[in-house]
Structure 1
Amino acid sequence: MGGQSFILLVAVICFCTISVSIADEGTATYYTAPYVPSSCYGYQDNGVMIAAASDTIWGNRAACGRMYRVTCTGPTNQGVPQPCTGRSVVVKIVDYCPPGCRGTIDLSQEAFSQIANLDAGKVNINYNQV
């Protein structure tokens, strides 16, 4: 039984390493309500765990409806206190953040507050499609 536990532990560690290594790096900002209309869904309400995609992931509307797990990794400015909460959030892409967008993913205020202090305004992130 001890050997099986060891193998399971090694498998879990390998899986965690793989999922971290396939995450992309970028930045996140946030926007505030109202969240409708959106580029993907018009006036349909998609809740508050939503985001707008920058050109990096937009893909001419291909990102609409995709779900992304977003994790804060640190501040974008040196010398700023750690803004991250240590949590991740899963968001649905419902909108487009046009050229000049300050972040890779523009999260709803509610989603951003799950991963970082709102006062930060912009944070470094890891993100991956789920």
Structure 2
Amino acid sequence: MATSVMHLFLFISVVSVMLSPAAYATPGTATFYTNYVPSACYGNHDSGVMIAAASDPLWNNGAICGKTFTVTCTGPTNPVPHPCTGKSVTVKIVDHCPGCGGTLDLSKEAFQTIANPVAGVIKIDYHI
């Protein structure tokens, strides 16, 4: 009996860990940009290419600077069929994109990791 309870507890623990990232994902949209420096968070400091800019609702007066987001393409927002690669990417927030037309404005390198750049704008799920 004790072994069965322990197995049940272990099973529930494993399932909870497997499902938890999906439970915290937030839907949004992503675009991409190509001029990375200067940035609103770090000025002329080069932060690499796996970076993103946050839209006004996420910006919070720059409090989001330096946070990392895992981003996954979930589908098209336009007639480009099947833009998603099936991969996810982790990006660091280094900039602000007021009026950028998406939730996150990814670097081109980050965008092309998760989607075909021809799509221009994609649906995403993201989490910190």
- Supply the distance in 2 between the matched residues of 1:52 and 1:101 (Cα, whole angstroms): 9
Q: What root-mean-square deviation, in Å, do the aligned CA atoms of Structure 1 and Structure 2 show?
A: 1.8
Instruction: Tell me if the contact between 2:28 and 2:103 (Cα under 8 Å) persists in the aligned partners.
Output: yes
SS of match in other structure, 1:51: strand
Percentage of identical aligned residues: 56
The two structures have a TM-score, normalised by structure 2, of 0.89
For structure 1, the residue ranges without an aligned partner over 5 or more in a row are: none
Tell me the equivalent position of 1:111.
110
1:66-87 deviation per Cα after TM superposition (whole angstroms, max 9, x unaligned): 100000000013x531100111
The Cα shift of 1:49 comes to 0.3
Tell me the equivalent position of 2:94.
94
Instruction: Tell me if the contact between 2:67 and 2:92 (Cα under 8 Å) persists in the aligned partners.
Output: yes
- Supply the distance in 2 between the matched residues of 1:44 and 1:23 (Cα, whole angstroms): 30
- Supply the distance in 2 between the matched residues of 1:13 and 1:71 (Cα, whole angstroms): 21
Residues 117 and 2 (structure 1), Cα distance of their counterparts in 2 relative to 1, 3 Å cut: farther
Q: Which consecutive segments of 4 or more residues in structure 1 shift more than 6 A?
A: 1-6
Tell me the equivalent position of 1:31.
33
Work out the number of aligned pairs and report it. Answer: 126
Tell me the equivalent position of 2:80.
80
User: Partner letter of residue 16 of structure 1?
Assistant: M
The two structures have a TM-score, normalised by structure 1, of 0.88
- Supply the distance in 2 between the matched residues of 1:44 and 1:38 (Cα, whole angstroms): 8
For structure 2, the residue ranges without an aligned partner over 5 or more in a row are: none
Residues 63 and 5 (structure 1), Cα distance of their counterparts in 2 relative to 1, 3 Å cut: same
User: Partner letter of residue 121 of structure 1?
Assistant: G
Instruction: Tell me if the contact between 2:52 and 2:104 (Cα under 8 Å) persists in the aligned partners.
Output: yes
- Supply the distance in 1 between the matched residues of 2:91 and 2:102 (Cα, whole angstroms): 15
Instruction: Tell me if the contact between 2:71 and 2:88 (Cα under 8 Å) persists in the aligned partners.
Output: yes
The Cα shift of 1:6 comes to 6.6
